[in-house]
């Protein structure tokens, strides 16, 4: 299963940001965050998904708990936009360099404005995609924020 380091891992290494890699089997097609949490043996509250949106002024990245749903109004407020919407699935790879289900907030083609849901600040660690299906990275929330110049704000409803 091991395929070596991803771009996200190499960037974290270069920034001297410690992380732990988790790998999981994806052949069964169960790659949603709750399934991934179960496969790597952690509570789902630690696993976060990376969502990419677009507004009038560009793209924005949101890192939210897998059991949460991005509140587009809160997201727009955080981004300073009147409204934001999810980018079409067909555009994910073109805009980020990643495929759906393997989108990491670290190492996208560009460093887009990034927002991590405030719930992450209450956790010792969070787990996000490592940049490919079957691999996750675990790190401290503030270290992730450092890596992508993110801010913490409330962008999902409480779970």
Q: Which of 83, 84, 101 is CA-nearest to residue 92? A: 101
- Residue-level pLDDT at 32: 86
* Residue 127: strand pairing partners: 47, 138
The pLDDT of residue 33? 86
pTM equals 0.94
Q: What's residue 2's pLDDT?
A: 52
Domain assignments of the chain as residue spans, ordered by start = 22-153
pLDDT value at residue 54: 97
Note the residue count of the chain: 159
Quote the pLDDT of residue 29: 81
For position 158, what pLDDT does the model report?
Answer: 65
Superfamily of domain 22-153: YbaK/aminoacyl-tRNA synthetase-associated domain (3.90.960.10)
Convert the chain into a string of H (helix), E (strand) and C (coil): CCCCCCHHHHHHHHCCCCCEEEECCCCCCCCCHHHHHHHHCCCHHHEEEEEEEEECCEEEEEEEECCCCECHHHHHHHHCCCCCEECCHHHHHHHHCCCCCCCCCCCCCCCCCEEEEHHHHHCCCEEEEEEECCEEEEECHHHHHHHHCCEEECCECCC
For every one of its 159 residues, what pLDDT tens digit does the chain have, with 9 covering 90 and above?
Answer: 456 899 999 999 999 999 999 999 888 888 888 889 999 999 999 999 999 999 999 999 999 999 999 999 999 999 999 999 999 999 999 999 999 889 999 999 999 999 999 999 999 999 999 999 999 999 999 999 999 999 999 999 865
β-strand pairing of 114-117 with 151-153:
parallel
């Amino acid at each position: 299963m091991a395929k070596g380091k991803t771009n996200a891992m190499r960037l974290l290494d270069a920034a001297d940001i410690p992380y732990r890699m988790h790998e999981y089997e994806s052949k069964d097609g169960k790659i949603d965050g709750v399934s991934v949490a179960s496969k790597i043996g952690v509570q789902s509250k630690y696993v976060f998904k990376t969502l990419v949106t677009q507004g009038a002024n560009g793209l924005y990245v949101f890192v939210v708990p897998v059991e949460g749903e991005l509140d587009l109004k809160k997201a727009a407020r955080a981004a300073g936009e009147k409204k934001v919407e999810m980018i079409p699935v067909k555009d994910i790879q073109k805009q980020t360099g990643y495929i759906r289900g393997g989108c990491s907030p670290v190492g996208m083609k560009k460093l887009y404005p990034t927002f991590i849901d405030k719930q992450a600040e209450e956790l010792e660690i969070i787990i996000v995609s490592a940049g490919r299906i079957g691999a996750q990275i675990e790190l401290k929330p503030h270290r992730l924020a450092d890596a992508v110049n993110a801010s913490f704000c409330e962008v999902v409803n409480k779970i």
